[in-house]
Chain A
Amino acid sequence: MVRKVYLFIFVVVLSGHSLFAQDAHAFKPTEYQIKAAFLYQFAKFVQWPNTAFADSSQQIIIGVLGKDPFGNDLDNTIQGKCIHEREIRIKRTDRLDNVQDCQILFISSSETKNLSNIFARLRHSNVLTVGDTEGFSKEGGIINFIRKDNKIHFEINIEAAQEAGLRLSSKLLNLAKIVESNS
Chain B
Amino acid sequence: MSISIMALLLASVSFIWYEVKMSRQTMINELTILAEIIGNNSTAALTFDDPFAAEEILSALKYKKHIVAAFIFKPNNILFATYIRQKSEYKLPEEMNSYNPYFKDEFLYIIHPIILESENIGKVTLQYDLLEMNARLRQYAGIVIIVFLLSLLFIYLATSVLQHIISEPILNLVHIAKNVSTEKDYSLRAKKENNDELGLLIDGFNEMLSEIQARDQVLIKDQEELEKRVRERTKKLQKQIIERKRAEKEKEKVQAELLQAQKMEAIGILAGGIAHDFNNLLTAIQGCADVAMLELEKSHIVYRDLQEIQSASGRAADLTRQLLLFGRKQPLKYDLINLDQLIENLLKIFHRLIGEDIGISIDFEPDLWNVNADRGSMEQVIMNLVVNARDAMPDGGKLTLKTENIVLDKPAARLIPEAKPGKFVCFSVSDTGMGMDQETIRHIFEPFFTTKGVGKGTGLGLSVIYGIIQQHNGWIHVYSEPGQGSIFRVYLPAVFDKEEQSDIEKAGKKFPKGNGERILIVEDEEMVRSFTRKALVKNGYKVFTAANVNEAKRVFTSNNRDFELLFSDVVLPDGNGIELVDQILSEKPQIKVLLASGYTDKKSQWPLIKKRGFEFMQKPYDLGDLLRTLRGILNARTSLKKGVEK
Residues of A within 8 A of B82 (CB): 13
Q: Which of B73-81, B335-343, B350-358, B405-413 contacts A (4 or more CB under 8 A)?
A: B73-81
Select from chain A the residue with minimum beta-carbon distance to B84: A13
A78 to chain B, nearest CB (A): 13
Minimum Cβ distance to chain B for residue A13 (Å): 6
> Is B572 part of the contact surface with A, judged by Cβ < 8 Å?
no
Residue of B nearest to A172 (CB): B44
Q: Which residues of chain A come closer than 8 Å to B50, judged between CB atoms?
A: 153, 175
CA distance A175 to B49 in the complex (A): 10
Report chain A residues within 8 Å CB of B78. 19, 23
Chain A 4-44 interface residues, beta-carbon cutoff 8 Å to B: 6, 9, 12-13, 18-20, 23, 38, 41, 44
Chain B minimum-CB-distance residue to A17: B51
In the complex the two chains form, is A44's CB within 8 Å of B80's CB?
A: no
User: Once the chains bind, are A44 and B92 in contact (CB under 8 Å)?
Assistant: no
Q: Check A175 against B79 for contact (C-beta < 8 Å).
A: no
- Which among A2, A19, A84, A175 is the interface contact of B45 at CB below 8 angstroms? A175
Contact flag A175-B44 (CB < 8 Å), given A9-B92, A18-B80, A19-B74: yes
Of residues 109 to 147 in B, which have CB atoms within 8 Å of A's CB atoms?
A: 116-117
Question: In the bound complex, what is the Cα–Cα distance between A169 and B45 (angstroms)?
Answer: 12
Contact of B44 among A9, A18, A45 (CB under 8 A): A45
0/1 per residue, B49-80, Cβ < 8 Å to A? 11101000000000000000000001000111
Contacts of B91 in A (CB 8 A): 6
Q: Is A96 an interface residue (CB 8 A)?
A: no
The answer to whether B79 and A19 have CB atoms under 8 Å apart is yes
Report the minimum CB–CB distance from A50 to chain B (whole Å). Answer: 19
B79 near A44: Cβ-Cβ < 8 Å: no
Size class of the A contact interface (CB-based, 8 Å): 20 to 34
Instruction: Report A55-107 residues with CB < 8 Å from chain B CB.
Output: 83-84
CB pair B45–A171 under 8 Å, yes or no, is: yes
Give bound CA distance, A151 to B51, whole Å.
12
**Residue B255, interface by CB 8 Å:** no
Task: Tell whether A19 pairs with B44 under 8 Å between CB atoms, given A2-B94, A84-B117, A175-B50.
Answer: no
Q: Which residues of A contact B463 (CB under 8 A)?
A: none
Pairwise interchain contact A171-B79, C-beta atoms closer than 8 A: no
- B interface size (C-beta, 8 A): 20
Nearest B residue to A34 via CB reads: B49
Contact check, B53 vs A175: say whether CB atoms are below 8 A apart: yes
Instruction: Output the nearest chain A residue to B43 by Cβ-Cβ distance.
Output: A171
Most chain A CB within 10 A, of B43, B44, B78, B79, is at B44
Residues in chain B near residue A6, CB distance under 8 A: 91-92
Shortest A14–chain B CB gap in Å is 9
Would you call A51 an interface residue if the criterion is a C-beta within 8 Å of the partner chain's C-beta atoms? no
Shortest CB-to-CB span from B500 to chain A, Å, is 168
* A174 lies within 8 A of chain B by Cβ: yes
Chain A residue contacts of B51, Cβ below 8 A: 18, 20
Closest CB in chain B relative to A10 CB, distance in Å: 8
B81's closest neighbor in chain A, by CB? A18
0/1 interface trace, chain B 604-628, chain A, CB 8 Å (1 if under): 0000000000000000000000000
- B51's nearest neighbour on chain A, judged by CB, is A18
Q: Which chain A positions have C-beta within 8 A of B45?
A: 171, 174-175
Does B47 reach chain A (CB closer than 8 Å)? Answer: yes
B41 within 8 A of A: yes
Contacts of A9 in B (CB 8 A): 79, 92
Q: What are the residues of chain A within 8 A of B80 when measuring CB–CB?
A: 18-20
What B residues does A19 contact at CB under 8 A?
A: 74, 78-80
A129 CB to nearest B CB, Å: 18
Task: Decide: A174 near B79, CB < 8 A? Known: A19-B74, A38-B48, A44-B47.
Answer: no
Give A83's nearest chain B residue, CB to CB: B117
Interface centre among B41, B47, B94 (most CB of A within 10 A): B47
CA distance A58 to B79 in the complex (A): 37
Name the interface residues of B19-55: CB closer than 8 Å to any CB of A: 41, 43-45, 47-51, 53
Cα(A107)–Cα(B50), bound, Å: 24
Instruction: Please state if B44 and A171 are interface contacts (CB–CB under 8 Å).
Output: yes
* Alpha-carbon distance A153/B44, docked complex (angstroms): 12
Residue of B nearest to A23 (CB): B78
**Chain B hits for A20, CB < 8 A:** 49, 51, 80
Complex interface: chain B residues within 8 A of A13 (CB): 79, 82
Query: From residue B360, how far is it (CB to closest CB) to chain A in Å?
Result: 144
A174's contact among B44, B74, B92, B94, by CB below 8 Å, is which? Answer: B44
Listed in ascending order, the chain A residues whose CB lies under 8 Å from chain B are: 2, 6, 9, 12-13, 18-20, 23, 38, 41, 44-45, 83-84, 151, 153-154, 169, 171-172, 174-175
Beyond A153-B50, A172-B48, A174-B45: 13 further Cβ-contacts under 8 Å? A6-B92, A9-B92, A13-B82, A19-B78, A19-B79, A20-B49, A41-B47, A45-B47, A154-B48, A171-B44, A174-B44, A175-B50, A175-B53
B residues engaging A (CB < 8 A)? 41, 43-45, 47-51, 53, 74, 78-80, 82, 91-92, 94, 116-117
Q: List 12 A-B contacts (CB under 8 A).
A: A12-B79, A19-B78, A41-B47, A45-B47, A151-B49, A171-B41, A171-B44, A171-B45, A174-B44, A175-B45, A175-B50, A175-B53
